[in-house]
A and B are shown apart, each in its own frame.
Chain A
């Protein structure tokens, strides 16, 4: 979408953390990689939304955001559990091993920025899950059938709030514009297909996101139009999250999320 070349992982960088050990025996690296990418998206977004707990702009919104967070953590539990030892993957990997897209790790900012992030991510996620129900992989197809309803609600809620904030007061409009502007450069990564993803697409495990990129643009534009907003100007896309190259924000998020099981490995509750 942008004329400038994207900022991406530099040539020659390995993009590999300690969990990227070569596959062996019966392991299926393309499938595992895909599960990790979707699972990390859900985990990181769930953690981000959870940060709102007790800080929501209204009690009702606080509960609403916590519900969204729990849906995401639930999805992460299933996906990471299918990729391996879910708890170990969530709590004992370092930042280079995380395969989430950069959009979901962006800070909450204000409520409008959180809504912008959620609109841009869950609209994509919903379109993906609709197609993932047809996956050749039984687990992913079952997962998608279950998650697609949850995410449809997320997408609707984010759209409702975008419209109200965008077409609201002078202040809410300004904040919504800023929130969208912050998140916009991370959208192209959602439609990037690298070698690892192509392998999953070729086997029918994963849908090809490029096939619904136009549908996505139309849907987002429709919401923004209803919100009396214009789409932000295209920015230089930033890529690399899928290969473990993250913004500074993810490390801070993991420090909070992983502190307890790393400090007290035997803790149970």
Chain B
């Protein structure tokens, strides 16, 4: 039965102020039930305060075969990292 249902990606916001994070996927016949399945599968232990579901087919993904040209050029550009500054001790959470 679930094999006939489309797949939905599930995102959970664990608490107010944080971003939604991808946690997994569920099968469901439509958006409303996808939310309910996501609720029952991924928020049973108080994991979240908000849920998103997105049809998996709507996700546009980068091509793994193009990983070289997509990501490797960034490897040689360490000056893009803000590592050349001294952080004062009083500044937390960096």
Chain A residues close to B by CB (< 8 Å): 57-61, 63-64, 67, 157, 160, 164
Contact = CB atoms under 8 A, between A and B. Distances in A.
A60 B27 contact: yes
B32 A63 contact: no
Interface residues of B, number: 15
A59 B2 contact: yes
B36 to A, nearest CB: 6
20 contacts: A57-B1, A58-B1, A58-B27, A59-B2, A60-B27, A60-B40, A60-B41, A61-B37, A63-B37, A63-B40, A63-B41, A64-B36, A64-B37, A64-B40, A157-B36, A160-B33, A160-B36, A164-B29, A164-B30, A164-B33
Contacts of B28: 60
A141 B64 CA distance: 58
A67 B29 CA distance: 19
Nearest to A57: B1
Contact of A60 (B30, B32, B37, B44): B37
Interface of B: 1-2, 5, 26-30, 32-33, 36-37, 40-41, 44
Given A58-B1, A157-B36, 16 more contacts: A57-B1, A57-B2, A58-B2, A59-B2, A60-B26, A60-B28, A60-B40, A60-B41, A61-B2, A63-B37, A64-B40, A67-B40, A67-B44, A160-B33, A164-B29, A164-B33
A61 B33 CA distance: 10
Contacts of A61: 1-2, 37
Nearest to B29: A164
Contacts of B37: 60-61, 63-64
A63 B39 CA distance: 10
Contacts of B30: 164
Task: Identify which of A58, A63, A67, A157 gathers the most chain B CB atoms within 10 Å of its CB.
Answer: A58
B48 to A, nearest CB: 15
B35 to A, nearest CB: 10
A58 B40 contact: no
B40 A160 contact: no
B45 to A, nearest CB: 11
A58 B79 CA distance: 51
Contacts of A160: 32-33, 36
A63 B40 CA distance: 7
A60 B33 CA distance: 10
A61 B30 CA distance: 13
A56 B36 CA distance: 16
A56 B33 CA distance: 15
A168 to B, nearest CB: 9
A57 B3 CA distance: 10
A177 B2 CA distance: 22
B40 to A, nearest CB: 4
A210 to B, nearest CB: 32
B31 to A, nearest CB: 11
Task: Identify which of A58, A60, A61 gathers the most chain B CB atoms within 10 Å of its CB.
Answer: A60
